Structure 1
């Protein structure tokens, strides 16, 4: 029996050659905070947010130009709670960023498709690989409120409005926050993931890969199996690189 998913941690596991046209290789990263790293090659690069360190356009540009330079055919990114210049809320006078900087940043990330780099924000994205495999992706930058930041929500009702937008046929989900009790334990032992997102994931019966970050100290990956109501097993990846400085590679059988 061929397992439907294989996980490799850069720097820990030996990453074998690409397994062939019957597979898609996803390279998962997050929380790079304006730093650049060596990452493995693959079919699809997924960045789960905190592109910048403290949210300025100049810091964002460092990350985007680095991502553009990578040779993955498809590259998809979402924002995170540090990416202030991408959150339209931060253009309001009470938040303090110049409105023109926010508009410039949002225009900038949306203009990178020619380089194969796609920014998604509470929206779906679909692509087709040369193998003919079609993948349905959904990305959200949202996270529960924690200090000052971007794309944050305070109540369960706000979270439900955000996550109820995820289509039921999503194959690949990218969120900045982890779900509750999935690779979300902080250094103080608290589970900091989102309850509402966990409940939504239970409804996504076709979701094969969920990539997130946010909780730096709990980077890693696991395969969620044994749910009789799911059509497929799901790989969960906390791809935060701030501590590990290493990507996580996931091969999915087409």
Structure 2
């Protein structure tokens, strides 16, 4: 069996145009110098509206963070990144050269092109990705920008729609709309705000880490101990939770938790902004023992 490699994750979300210097004014802790980490996870809501200037500003902010790998997803505030939202609100939906479509292309190019590369940012759409780090650790991550519909923001689905489970795992009364359902036995999970279907998916997959944001008031972390083990998952949904405990953020030190794949999941709401959109909340630092990549 491959040996485990300790890997440090820094988890943030809901930066909404944050720039370094803001935290000092608000009494927050997200400020330079930042502690070392291997992987930076940004769980969405990078900006206020996802316009090109806001996305560029966010990339400049992320570029000042020292991490080997910086993984970023959109949130419901990134309207210009959601082609469905852009198409729905564009008065000239048949004109690819209209301002809305040109801005969509511009922000996608920013997050997937030279500007993102210069900042060291990897932009993730919905689905699975596997990464190998310089320390030899390998991990697979599922990401999704989608959240339940709220006030006509982006990347939305209806409350009665299930975007995260395959058709045979959808709860009664829900419609499966999953294009990239979360597969079983994935060792890490990076997503966004929860809903009944997402809780159902997380209980089915039982990842080591489930990260999200969006609800600023719910900032914090909980450690879940699942009923049964990874080889015998009898129940799905809230009933699969055997025990739930709050975790304390010790930033800039690591917030330790006994995370064993299939038995525990650390759920982290990493919203930097509070309910008044002030950056008072600290990032989360979490160490995971990850499998070592097989030699090529």
1:242 counterpart residue number: 273
Q: Hey, what does 2:248 align to over in structure 1?
A: none
For 1:170, the equivalent position in structure 2 comes to 186
Superposition RMSD in Å: 2.0
Question: 2:106 is matched with which residue?
Answer: 104
C-alpha distance in structure 1 between counterparts of 2:54 and 2:14, whole Å: 13
2:51 is aligned to 56
How far off is 1:129 after superposition? Answer: 1.6
Structure 2 alignment gaps of length 5 or more? 21-30, 92-98, 164-175, 231-261, 275-279, 291-296
Shift of 1:130: 2.1
State whether structure 2 residue 13 is matched by structure 1 residue 25. Answer: no
Task: Report 1:173-184 matches (<5 A).
Answer: 173-178=189-194
**Does structure 1 retain, via aligned residues, the 8 Å contact 2:86–2:100?**
yes
Q: Secondary structure at the match of 1:53?
A: coil
Alpha-carbon separation, structure 1, partners of 2:46 and 2:186: 23
Question: Could you say if the C-alpha distance between residues 225 and 163 of structure 1 is closer, same or farther in structure 2, counting changes exceeding 3 Å?
Answer: farther
Higher mean alpha-carbon deviation, 105-114 vs 48-57, is at 105-114
CA contact (8 A) 1:79 1:176 kept: no
Number of aligned positions between the proteins:
218
Deviation at 1:134, TM superposition (A): 0.5
Structure 2 residue 154 is matched with structure 1 residue 150: yes
Structure 1, unaligned runs of 5 or more: 1-20, 179-193
SS of residue paired to 2:67: coil
Question: Which of 19, 37, 47 is matched with 1:36 structurally?
Answer: 19
User: Do 1:30 and 1:51's aligned partners in 2 also have CA atoms closer than 8 Å?
Assistant: yes
Within 1, Cα distance between the matches of 2:179 and 2:83? 19
After TM superposition, list the pairs within 5 Å mapping 1:200-211 onto structure 2. Answer: 200-205=201-206, 207-211=207-211
Measured after TM superposition, the shift of residue 42 of structure 1 is 0.5
8 Å CA contact 2:79–2:86 kept in 1: the answer is no
Instruction: Indicate the structure (1 or 2) with the bigger Cα radius of gyration.
Output: 2
Please say if residues 9 and 39 of structure 2, whose CA atoms lie closer than 8 Å, have aligned partners that are also in contact.
yes
Equivalent residue number for residue 185 of structure 1: none
Alignment of 1:116 with 2:120, yes or no, is yes
Whether the 8 Å CA contact 1:89–1:95 is kept in 2: the answer is: no
Instruction: Give the CA deviation at 1:246.
Output: 1.4
In 1, Cα distance between equivalents of 2:161 and 2:226: 30
1:74–1:31 distance in 2 versus 1, CA, 3 Å: same
- Deviation, 1:115, is 4.2
Find the counterpart in structure 2 of residue 190 from structure 1. none
Q: Can you list the C-alpha shifts for 1:73-104, whole angstroms capped at 9, x where unaligned?
A: 00101100100111112332634661100011
1:39-71 C-alpha deviation (Å, 9 max, x unpaired): 433010000000001221211111112112211
Deviates more, 1:168-177 or 1:55-64: 168-177
Tell me the TM-score normalised to structure 1 length.
0.79
Displacement of 1:161 after TM fit? 2.6
- Relative to structure 1, is the Cα distance of residues 66 and 100 closer, same or farther in structure 2, using a 3 angstrom cutoff? same
State the alpha-carbon separation in 2 of the partners of residues 152 and 102 from structure 1.
Answer: 17
1:199, distance to aligned residue in structure 2 (A): 0.6
TM superposition outliers: structure 1 runs of 4+ over 6 Å: none
